[in-house]
A and B are shown apart, each in its own frame.
Chain A
């Protein structure tokens, strides 16, 4: 953006308003009907001419300041008087904390009255005669500019930075390198990704534990059209890494009529129409949880990605980029649902290495 207009730009300043217009407002005289008449004469307020009105204003201001003092006393009184857990009914707010309401209102009044008093004082009693300040150009006078530039050149010359190139180059090198130490220190903020995002707590033979009852699920626990959430056996709420593991392993189970399942692999990986999909949305990782049993659609409440659970969790609508991963399940010899392995693809949001 070569902003300085001039011969190099092939454009001139002719588009700018003329000098005469620039000085608009300073052109006086009868010939210009739009000339600036200057700051209008001051009009007196009632308080400026009537001492009784001024006294009234004074009393109003003093009243507001006094009200503020009383409100602060009220604040302290409320703090002492109301227990922290007292709930009262106040129309139209409903059931509210008595302490919160009284503290907030008294504080609000105490502050507001100081402000209102000060503003009223300024508006009615302080002089409202308009005053004029001159502006001065921000840019320095040419002489100052010359002085600064020559001082700088002198300083630069005395430093010999331009002449002694060895010093200059090694200094730039040193200053450029030294922040690297700070960058290196950030390395231990976290581990490398490796293949962490590719594995979950699921593995062959792990039972599906119901998130609500904490009992292993059997096929008969899941009726047609119902939805259940499960986690892998051995993953406990008290575990140190529970949140990290459940963030990937959370499972959603639905029982469909086998004839309704359109996707062949989905049918192969199901058991008696029970299909298990990752609960973590493939968009940005919210748990999908709104199931519509007539259509077999499941909707993510965060960004409304919609998946068809009867067709390999294909994306029907919304910003998700790929289907929910399915978990291959079966029933073990004791009649409990079990996983036949981990998810075959990474669960959750897509990432560069996902492939």
Chain B
């Protein structure tokens, strides 16, 4: 038998039937790229099914849509701050002095057929991209899908979110309209507040004094090349890791930490995920057909001495707008220098701090639990009450800042005093996250209790039975084994103990501050106030046998 040395080619030459054309192309590629080994692991790769796993896909697809439409827009956009007098198709602007950037954006909107549609798809997709990343991140957070081995992928995703924010900001600044110019001015004011080097950074970024003639061109290269280039790299790494780690799955019958249950990539996910791209694209195209986004022709070109009311950034920048609006205007003048705390604290201290704390969370939690095992079963949020409380508090805090960022809109729409709203946000900034944390944790514990009752006493059927002696009882129906397993599959940690103060020889042990802190956090997470003990088999059997005597 010489089959071991036979190549597909020689097999064909041996007079057997010639392989189909598709296979021969694949053979050719395999001989050069080694695609068969790659396909062996991935072609029939299993993906678990859950609606929340589509959120990341929405982000991925809107990113692709942004790149496609963005390339088209570069064909018509002039990233120049050269001043011209407008004589294009939009007559209300005739004779107005404006930058070429603004004029070419008007041309895209009014002269290029379909240009407005592509512009609007680009902008809507950007808004959806950020929203999808935000919600996807929440899904990963609340289900604990960031735990080992996925911490690095969490950081990649976090970087994509932050870079997405800045790519969006540089993007909507490019048309050089009055609104976006005001946003740039805001950014310049924030840069000036940086101690010691602020004025230098500002001069270097704008090529001199604000606004200068350079920033559109510089933002353009950051927006179309630098930032998306980095994002593309991160995105590829993110997806490779998703494939490599295999997707998390929720607990259920047959689903363990050591397997993944679902449908194969070829054909089911190929069709579903591929089809979903078209669904997302189709919906965004239809939205862009019907709903105007960023009508720069109504706003006018940028002039540093003009402004419109209701000036709002795109939604994902709203929380930084809130930070800056509610911060008291603290300024310290010492030794001929000014420390602009009113701007610097919100934008160069709190803003990065909040972002970095998101990136660090997986490492903080794994330090508290001390758990170094791999986790592939996604948590139900209720089964991690402290984590869920932290996440909900963060979201509540974010929305408080969005209210602060739109305080003028709240004031005009609800006939409220802007001062009152600002003071509300200042107080809520500290109070609301705490309240939301406590409430969320209580809700989670309540849900855990309900799960426990369901396991031990069965499902409430709603059927009332009258007993012979007149008592009314509701009939509880025992759960199936699938349900029993699903509701008890989650793990529960015990709080870490610091151990004895002295070792077996009576020598004082050294307990560091970080150990004490860890023990305290662990207690908060996993003591009886942090979780409801899940029912044990003994408890279940005891009640089961008790039923007979009832």
Contact residues of A with B, CB < 8 Å?
1, 3-5, 9-17, 21-22, 24-26, 31-40, 79, 84-85, 93, 96-97, 99-105, 107-119, 121-123, 126-128, 130-135, 137-138, 186, 189-193, 196-197, 211, 229, 231, 237-238, 243-244, 246-248, 250, 279-280, 283-287, 289-290, 301-305, 315, 317-322, 348-355
Contact = CB atoms under 8 A, between A and B. Distances in A.
11 contacts: A34-B489, A84-B112, A103-B117, A114-B278, A132-B260, A197-B209, A247-B211, A287-B304, A302-B186, A321-B342, A350-B340
Contact of B261 (A31, A34, A128, A131): A131
Nearest to A186: B204
Nearest to B407: A304
A246 B255 CA distance: 67
B195 interface: yes
Contacts of A301: 307-311, 408
Contact of A355 (B44, B280, B338, B488): B338
B338 A350 contact: yes
Contacts of A246: 303-305
Contacts of B541: 33
B482 interface: yes
B452 interface: no
Nearest to B539: A33
Nearest to B48: A130
B103 to A, nearest CB: 15
B87 to A, nearest CB: 15
B337 A116 contact: no
B339 to A, nearest CB: 8
A190 to B, nearest CB: 4
Contacts of A25: 255-257, 485, 489
A4 B254 contact: no
Nearest to B196: A352
Contacts of B481: 33-35, 37
Contacts, number: 407
- 3 residue pairs, one from A and one from B, having the closest CB atoms: A104-B289, A284-B189, A112-B282
Given A133-B45, A246-B305, A22 B373 contact: yes
Given A108-B289, A116-B275, 12 more contacts: A9-B515, A14-B496, A25-B257, A108-B283, A113-B278, A118-B274, A128-B263, A128-B268, A133-B259, A301-B311, A319-B324, A319-B325
A137 B374 contact: yes
Contact of A24 (B185, B262, B324, B489): B489
Contacts of B214: 190
Contacts of A284: 185-186, 188-190, 324, 343
A123 B363 CA distance: 39
A39 B253 contact: yes
A29 to B, nearest CB: 11
Interface string B275-305: 1111111111111111000000000001111
